[in-house]
Structure 1
Amino acid sequence: MGKRKFIAGFLCFLAYSFLGWCYEVFLETVVYRWGFSNRGFLWGPYLPVYGVGVLLLLTCLRGWSRRKLLIGRLNLMPVVVFLAVVVLTTTVELAASYILEWKTGGWLWDYTRYTYQWQGRICLSASMRFGLGGMVILYGLQPLLERSLIWLGENRQKMLYMILMPLFCLDLVIHVWMV
């Protein structure tokens, strides 16, 4: 992977980590009306599990999202992509729960009150929301983000990277390896 691609990938990772944080805060404050709290375990307004999940989606499903699977005139590829997004994001969430439990003694969510759930770690309704979110990302947000990165240009991307990477790494070191 070239340096330019790595920088763009890191900026995408941070953008989706931030959007994931916004999504979680929105759910907590507007939907569930629990009030604001900083979601996640890091200081910054980002949830790396969302960034990792989206990079995985882009790596595994970007090509699929551009193909067609026709039955007559009906393109079924979006259905296949949706199901693949659900499987991948649910796997990431499950893995994150085990990693957090290993590192901190617990994980940050609890789905035990949901009807279709497994060990409180994953649940069907969250997986469906992640599936819909993945579709919005693959077919809408990622093309916009790529155009934005092109608009920024290589020099501004490098500048953002040089500012944000050390801050993110410092946050990670403090909260992950020093806990």
Structure 2
Amino acid sequence: MLSKYFVCFIIYSFFGWIYETIYCTVSEKAWENRGFLYGPCIPLYGVGAISAQFLFVDLPIQRFSHPSYLTIFLGCAVGSFILEYSTSYLLEKRFHARWWDYSHLPLNINGRVCLIFTVCFGIAGIIVTQFIEPPVIHVVDMIPQLLVELLALLFMFVFGFDMALTISALTSFAKEFERINDQINAQMAQRVEALYSKPETSDDEDDTAIKERLSTEYVKQWIKNATATQLGQFRHIAKFTHPVASTKALLDKGSEYLRRRKK
């Protein structure tokens, strides 16, 4: 049973990746590989779809055996609200980054959730439970149990490898930009010390201008040397929230520079 749920989880996560990638590619008019992971998988959709399947399809409770569209809509809307907000919060706390930001939309809460998308997810819940999950469950049920278990193990290995690769890349972002920030601060400290040791001339460049020039040069150098996977992850992070303001400014500058270069 667990193997079946995990295979369905991967399938729904893949469908979610297809939807998000098409939507964002059309909106941005450029290719967008959406999601937290590198692979074609968005776990948030998998968790939501599996929860809806368990609650409205598999759970042996009379009240939910033949739920109305209103019941499905409300359950999926409330569930997506909780899931989306908690996921955004945990990802930001762990990686100091956001993969989506609804701050520009009305009726949003801290940019993590908004009424428009909550309603959309409620409607999507009806579509998923009534038209997508039944054929998926039917196909998975047709597969021999041994093969389902082998598929679950294979998907688990690939999913775990992708998760480890993603976490490694995200962790390196913060460390690398903290190192760049330390280098800039060290050079600025040397400049201040040099100014105190000799009379300042009118040709001296302003400290703010120097810091801006150095940060731009360091960011461009990092982007030039970064791997393709690092650049891909960096591009579709919507917003960095690093606790150190100067490091956050560097991350924002790098992200903005990449988006401009992509266009």
Shorter-chain TM-score: which interval?
0.7 to 0.9
- State the 1:9 CA deviation: 0.6
Cα deviation digits, residues 20-55 of structure 1 (max 9, x gap)? 11111111122x144212112212100111111222
- Aligned pairs for 1:33-48 (under 5 A) are 33-48=28-43
The DSSP-based 3-state class of the residue aligned with 2:124 is helix
The DSSP-based 3-state class of the residue aligned with 1:113 is coil
Residue from 4, 10, 14 that aligns with 2:6: 10
CA distance in 2, matches of 1:159, 1:84: 33
Which residue identity is paired with 1:24? E
Partner of 2:21: 25
Contact 1:65 1:81 survives alignment (8 Å): no
CA distance in 1, matches of 2:167, 2:55: 27
Contact 1:116 1:123 survives alignment (8 Å): yes
Partner of 1:119: 110
Contact 1:65 1:139 survives alignment (8 Å): no
Contact 2:55 2:64 survives alignment (8 Å): no
Identical positions, percent: 28
Contact 1:25 1:37 survives alignment (8 Å): yes
Residue from 72, 76, 83 that aligns with 1:81: 72
Which residue identity is paired with 1:6? L
**What do you get for the CA RMSD once the two structures are aligned?**
1.8
Which residue identity is paired with 1:9? Y
Q: Give the TM-score taking structure 2 as reference length.
A: 0.59
Which residue identity is paired with 2:25? T
Partner of 1:73: none
CA distance in 2, matches of 1:35, 1:121: 24
Residue from 37, 48, 52 that aligns with 1:53: 48
What is the total number of aligned residue pairs between the two structures? 166
Partner of 1:149: 140
Contact 1:65 1:138 survives alignment (8 Å): no
Partner of 1:72: none
The DSSP-based 3-state class of the residue aligned with 1:38 is coil
- State the 1:172 CA deviation: 1.4
- Aligned pairs for 1:98-177 (under 5 A) are 98-176=89-167
- State the 1:61 CA deviation: 3.3
The DSSP-based 3-state class of the residue aligned with 1:41 is coil
Structure 1 pair 47–153 and aligned structure 2 pair: CA distance change class (3 A): same
CA distance in 1, matches of 2:46, 2:7: 10
